Structure 1
Amino acid sequence: MTLSNTIRWLGMLAVIGGICRLLMTPLELMWGTDNTTALIIGGITGSVFIIIGTAGIYLFQAEKAGVLGFIGFLMTTLGNILVCTMVMIALFVNTALQDPQILEQDLPGPIVPIRIIMMITMNLGYILFGIATIRAKMLPRWGGALMILLVLMTFIPYTDYLFAVVWGLFYIVLGWAVWSRSKNSETKVSVTQ
Structure 2
Amino acid sequence: MQKVVKWLGVVVILAGIARMGMTPSALIWGGDSHQELLCGYVAAILMAFSSIALYLPQMKETGKLGFAAVFITAAGNIVISGQQYGIWAYGAYAEKGLFVNVTGALVGIGMMLGTILLGIVTFRAKVFPLWNVLLFVVMLVSFGIPGLESWFALFWGLAYGAMGYTIVTSRYRNKEAAAKSLSVAS
Q: TM-score range by the shorter chain?
A: 0.7 to 0.9
Query: C-alpha offsets along residues 132-187 of structure 1, whole Å, 9 cap, x if unaligned?
Result: 111111112232233344344433322201110111001110011001108x9984
Give unmatched runs, 5+ long, in structure 1.
95-101
- Tell me the CA shift for residue 113 of structure 1: 1.4
Cα 1:189–1:119, aligned 2, differ >3 Å: closer, same or farther?
A: farther
1:99 aligned partner: none
1:83 aligned partner: 80
**Pair 1:4 & 2:30 matched:** no
Provide the rounded CA distance (Å) in 2 between the counterparts of 1:176 and 1:125: 21
Is the deviation greater in 165-174 or in 74-83? 74-83
2:99 aligned partner: 110
1:141 aligned partner: 130
1:48 aligned partner: 45
Secondary structure of 2:96 counterpart: coil
Query: C-alpha offsets along residues 33-61 of structure 1, whole Å, 9 cap, x if unaligned?
Result: 21112211x21111111112211111121
1:120-131 alignment, distance < 5 Å: 120-131=109-120
2:184 aligned partner: 190
Secondary structure of 2:48 counterpart: helix
Asked if 2 retains the 8 angstrom alpha-carbon contact of 1:62 and 1:189, the reply is no
- Amino acid paired to 2:30: G
- Tell me the CA shift for residue 20 of structure 1: 0.6
Cα 1:6–1:79, aligned 2, differ >3 Å: closer, same or farther?
A: same
Question: Normalised by the size of structure 2, how large is the TM-score?
Answer: 0.86
Asked if 2 retains the 8 angstrom alpha-carbon contact of 1:21 and 1:164, the reply is yes
2:12 aligned partner: 14
Asked if 1 retains the 8 angstrom alpha-carbon contact of 2:139 and 2:159, the reply is no
1:31 aligned partner: 29
Is the deviation greater in 140-149 or in 119-128? 140-149
Provide the rounded CA distance (Å) in 2 between the counterparts of 1:110 and 1:153: 29
Q: What CA RMSD, in Å, does the superposition of the two structures yield over aligned residues?
A: 2.3
Give 1:60's match in structure 2, choosing from 35, 49, 57.
Answer: 57
% same residue: 28
Q: Which runs of 4+ in 1 moved over 6 A?
A: none
Asked if 2 retains the 8 angstrom alpha-carbon contact of 1:53 and 1:175, the reply is no
Asked if 2 retains the 8 angstrom alpha-carbon contact of 1:140 and 1:173, the reply is no
Is the deviation greater in 83-92 or in 8-17? 83-92
